[in-house]
Structure 1
Amino acid sequence: MSYAINALTKSLNVFHAACSPCNNCDIEILDAITPRHDVERFGIQLVGSIRHADVLLVTGAVNKKVVHRIKKLYEQAPKPVLVIAVGGCACSEIMFRDSYNTCGPLDKIIPVDLYIPGCPPKPEAMIAGVVKLIQAATKKAGG
C-alpha cells in the first residue's frame, strides 16, 4: 500500500464523475486546470477513463438514475482509489434533501476520503483539499 501512496505523491490522475450536477462545481474544476491555477504543474491531471485514475472526483447529487453508475465506477477503479466529494450536493445533498429522486449524500453510496463543501467550492479549496488528502495518506502509510 505504501508503494501506491508513494506513487500518488508524484502524480495524481483524477477521473471526474458528474452525478446530475448544476454544473457550477464542474466549472470550478475546469477553472482549476486552466492556466490561472494550473494544477497540472503539481502532477494533477484529469483522465478520461476510471481505469487510469488514482482519484474519483464526484460532483452533484446522487439520484436514482446515476447511483448504479457511481457504484460501477468505484468497482472498476484500480485500488487503492481515493474518493473526493465536491460541492454541497455530493457532500450533504443540501439542496435536494427532501427530493423523492435522491439517494442520499455520496458517503451513503461509496466510501469518501475527502469532502470539499461549498456551492460551488473555489478552485483554491479543491487544490488545498487534495494536497491535505495526499499528505494524510502519506503520513498514514508511514512515509
Structure 2
Amino acid sequence: TGESIMLDILKRIHRTGMLSEALPVHDGHEVHVQRIHQRLNRVFGRALRIRHVDAGSCNACELEIQALANPYYNLEGTGIAFVASPRHADVLLVTGPVSVNMEEALKRAYEVMPDPKWVIAVGDCGACGGIFGINYASRGRVSNVVPVDATIPGCPPAPLALLHGLLLITRHPRQP
C-alpha cells in the first residue's frame, strides 16, 4: 500500500541521514564578487549588454559563462545581461579558436554592433588559438579576425576571471 511505502522511505531517510554537502565556509569570496559588481555598476551603469559568440570552442568556457547567471555571481542583478542579437550589444564575448566556418559570422556580428563596441576573447583558445593554432580548419586567435580589447586567459577561465575581464575593458576608452 501507499502508506507502507511512505513509512519505508521515511525509515530509510532517518537511517541514512543527510547526504547533501555542507554549506560553503565564508572565505571572503562573496565580498570580492560584490566589489566587482559595484565597480561594474559604476563604470557601465545599468545598461551593459553582451553578445556571446562561440567561434569553435569545446564548450568548457560556455559552462563558466553560464555560471555568471546563477544566484552566486548574479550578473543580471548588476544590470549586465546577455542579448540574442549583436545589434543590441555593447560587448562581444568570443570563445574558442575561430573556425573557418565561423570566421564570416564573427566578422558580421562585429560589423553590426553599434559603436562604441568592445570585444573580449575568452579562454586560451580565444586569446592565442590554444592547442589548435592556425591550420586548415582554424584561423586561430580571435584577434586574427576582429579587433580585441581584452583577453581572459584560462582553460576554461573561472566565472570570477570573467568578471575581472569585464573590468579589463574599462581601461580601454570606448571609441565611436
| Deviation per residue, 1:79-137 (Å, 9 max, x gap) | 11110000111110121025321112111111000100100000000101212322x24
**Contact residue 89 and residue 95 of structure 1 kept, 8 A:** yes
1:83 aligned to which of 90, 101, 119: 119
Superposed displacement of residue 17, structure 1: 0.4
Distance 2:169 2:131 in 1: 26
* Structure whose residues are more often helix by fraction: 2
2:85 aligned to which of 43, 49, 60: 49
**Contact residue 126 and residue 141 of structure 2 kept, 8 A:** yes
Written as runs of structure 1 = structure 2, the 5 A alignment for 1:55-134 is 55-97=91-133, 99-134=135-170
Larger radius of gyration: 2
Distance 1:7 1:75 in 2: 24
- Give the residue type in structure 2 aligned to 1:16: H
> For the structure 1 residues 7 and 124, does the alpha-carbon distance in structure 2 shift closer, same or farther, using more than 3 Å as the test?
closer
**Contact residue 90 and residue 117 of structure 2 kept, 8 A:** yes
TM-score with structure 2 length normalisation?
0.71
Aligned residues: 133
Greater mean deviation of Cα atoms: 95-104 or 52-61: 95-104
| Deviation per residue, 1:18-77 (Å, 9 max, x gap) | 011100000000001111111112221101111110100000110111101100110011
* Structure whose residues are more often strand by fraction: 1
Distance 1:64 1:100 in 2: 8
Written as runs of structure 1 = structure 2, the 5 A alignment for 1:26-37 is 26-37=62-73
State the identity %. 38
Identify the structure with bigger relative contact order (alpha carbons < 8 Å, sequence gap 6+). Answer: 1
Distance 1:82 1:133 in 2: 7
Q: Which blocks of at least 5 consecutive residues in structure 1 are unaligned? A: 1-5
For residue 15 of structure 1, give the secondary structure of its aligned residue in structure 2.
strand
CA RMSD in angstroms, aligned pairs only? 1.8
Q: Which blocks of at least 5 consecutive residues in structure 2 are unaligned? A: 1-41
Does residue 1:40 correspond to 2:40, yes or no? Answer: no
